[in-house]
Structure 1
Amino acid sequence: MQMSEQAENWNAGVMPAMLVSTAGRLLARLADTRLRKIGISISHFPVLAALKDGKALSQKELARIAGVEQPSMAQLLSRMERDDLIRREPDPKDGRSSLVSLTDSAIGKRGPAREILAMGNGEAVAGFNQEEIDTFVELLQRVIVNVNDASKSASANEEAADSFAK
């Protein structure tokens, strides 16, 4: 179906982007409900993943990795520090900055968190055979590439329009 046909025959129930968005929200809600029992949230995962293997990174690096603005990352890190999931130490290379690393408490929650996420993934693809799962994953990866490419193109067009307007 061409784009104009999709716009003309709008039905969110068959629009791939809407279905992916709905599935993502439902999976995140399910994961958060279960993860809350061990004291973490799905929003913590970009930080937990970035700091695995004993890494220590700056707030700026974590914000870049997570794809969020620094103020949002600062709020997340404050909550994680309050919950004893991360610690901050002065950056020896930059006295104005601190390095963030995982606490023993956070490290101890990785295994249970992975089990919770694996359970949710299993439930999401219940009734699928392995070939269907592999195809589904491949298609989702292609969607992600397409959306990333479209986002880069939209950003470039916006920057060009901004510079033209100046």
Structure 2
Amino acid sequence: MQLDVLATPGHLISLAARGFARLSEARLKPLGFGVGHLPVLIALQDGRADTQRDLARFAKVEQPPMAQMLARMERDGLISRTRDTADGRSCHIALTELSKARLPEACVVLFEGNREALIDFTDEESDLFIRLLTRLILNLDRIVTRGATE
């Protein structure tokens, strides 16, 4: 029996992720956001992180790409930075009023896109799909973390 590499979960999830990214980018662009901004915006809004290091960890990206994204977001008026008085090398990052005003609409268009993508799924299938993806992500994180410590 020959296995079809293009029918593996990894490949199919990659295709789905790219499709969601294209959909989200198209819908977020008029609001001045990119799909990569979302983890940063949500973390800042919810108070889960407020430094570059913590945002990189939250978004699961390396520091250099996070630094580049934050520089672009600051340039575009989406975030502001203030120096940490206790540690002059560190900055606290916050949403600007512009981001705060646009973020609710961004969430609406993203939820709408997700609903459209899952239109043929029952509520039970959608819930199961989300639970399975969450477990898969935890498994992958565990594998990658274990591999980094070996």
Q: TM over 0.5, yes or no?
A: yes
- Equivalence for 1:132: 125
Q: Aligned to 2:57, which of 64, 72, 83?
A: 64
Q: Aligned to 2:71, which of 78, 86, 91?
A: 78
Matches within 5 A, 1:97-108: 97-108=90-101
Aligned residue for 2:68, secondary structure, equals: helix
Question: Match of 1:148, as an amino acid?
Answer: D
Confirm or deny: 8 A CA contact 2:49 2:58 kept in the other structure: no
Runs of 5+ consecutive residues of structure 2 not aligned to the other structure: none
Tell me whether 1:87 sits opposite 2:80 in the alignment: yes
1:16–1:53 Cα change, 3 Å: closer
Question: Match of 2:126, as an amino acid?
Answer: I
Matches within 5 A, 1:19-34: 19-34=12-27
Cα distance per residue 1:39-79 (max 9 Å; x no partner): 10011011101101467722122122222222111110110
Aligned residue for 2:40, secondary structure, equals: helix
Runs of 5+ consecutive residues of structure 1 not aligned to the other structure: 158-166
Q: Aligned to 2:112, which of 114, 119, 128?
A: 119
RMSD: 1.7
Residue 149 of structure 1 and its aligned partner are, at CA, apart by 1.7
Residue 98 of structure 1 and its aligned partner are, at CA, apart by 1.4
Q: Aligned to 1:141, which of 134, 137, 141?
A: 134
1:128–1:46 Cα change, 3 Å: same
Paired with 2:67 and 2:8, the residues of 1 have a C-alpha distance of 35
Aligned residue for 2:77, secondary structure, equals: coil
Confirm or deny: 8 A CA contact 2:49 2:55 kept in the other structure: no
TM-score normalized by structure 2?
0.92
Confirm or deny: 8 A CA contact 1:54 1:101 kept in the other structure: no
Q: Aligned to 2:149, which of 156, 159, 166?
A: 156
Question: Match of 1:115, as an amino acid?
Answer: V
- Equivalence for 2:36: 43
Residue 37 of structure 1 and its aligned partner are, at CA, apart by 0.8
Question: Match of 1:126, as an amino acid?
Answer: I
1:10–1:123 Cα change, 3 Å: same
Paired with 1:16 and 1:60, the residues of 2 have a C-alpha distance of 31
Aligned residue for 1:100, secondary structure, equals: strand
Aligned length: 150
Paired with 1:143 and 1:54, the residues of 2 have a C-alpha distance of 26
TM-score normalized by structure 1?
0.83
Residue 156 of structure 1 and its aligned partner are, at CA, apart by 2.4
**Structure with greater Cα Rg:** 1
